[in-house]
């Protein structure tokens, strides 16, 4: 999941898909300096991580965002952050005792 997000190209694709409608591969390729196949691979990675969902309509594949995995990632970070806060609080309590 995080590995899928850990790439500039994929993050930019995500950004473009986040605030618009589903887009085809050719459309997503325009605006990058990469070939269509390179972009395709990135899209498949994101799809494999469950972040995107693709639908074939006519001769094009349209990719759209799938918000659930993103929420899960957010929840995970919440967890880490909260655990750390707790650990600090315990440390503080220990030091002050």
Q: Which does 14 bind (CB under 5 to 8 A by kind): a second copy, DNA, none?
A: a second copy
22-61 mask for a second copy (x: CB under 8 A)?
----------------------------------------
| H-helix or E-strand spanning residue 18 | helix 8-18
- In this structure, what DSSP letter does residue 32 have? B
Q: Which does 1 bind (CB under 5 to 8 A by kind): a second copy, DNA, none?
A: a second copy
52 within 8 A of 17, measured Cβ to Cβ = yes
Residue 21 within binding range of DNA, rule CB under 7 A = no
Identify the CA nearest to 5 among candidates 62, 59, 54, 76: 76
């Amino acid at each position: 999941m995080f590995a899928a997000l850990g790439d500039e190209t994929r993050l930019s694709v995500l950004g473009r898909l986040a605030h618009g409608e589903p887009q085809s591969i050719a459309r997503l390729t325009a605006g990058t300096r990469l070939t269509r196949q390179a972009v395709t691979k990135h899209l498949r990675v994101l799809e494999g991580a469950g972040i995107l969902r693709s639908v074939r309509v006519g001769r094009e594949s349209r990719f759209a965002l799938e918000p659930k995995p993103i929420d899960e990632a957010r929840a995970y970070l919440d967890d880490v952050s909260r655990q750390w806060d707790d650990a600090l609080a315990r440390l503080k309590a220990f030091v002050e005792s």
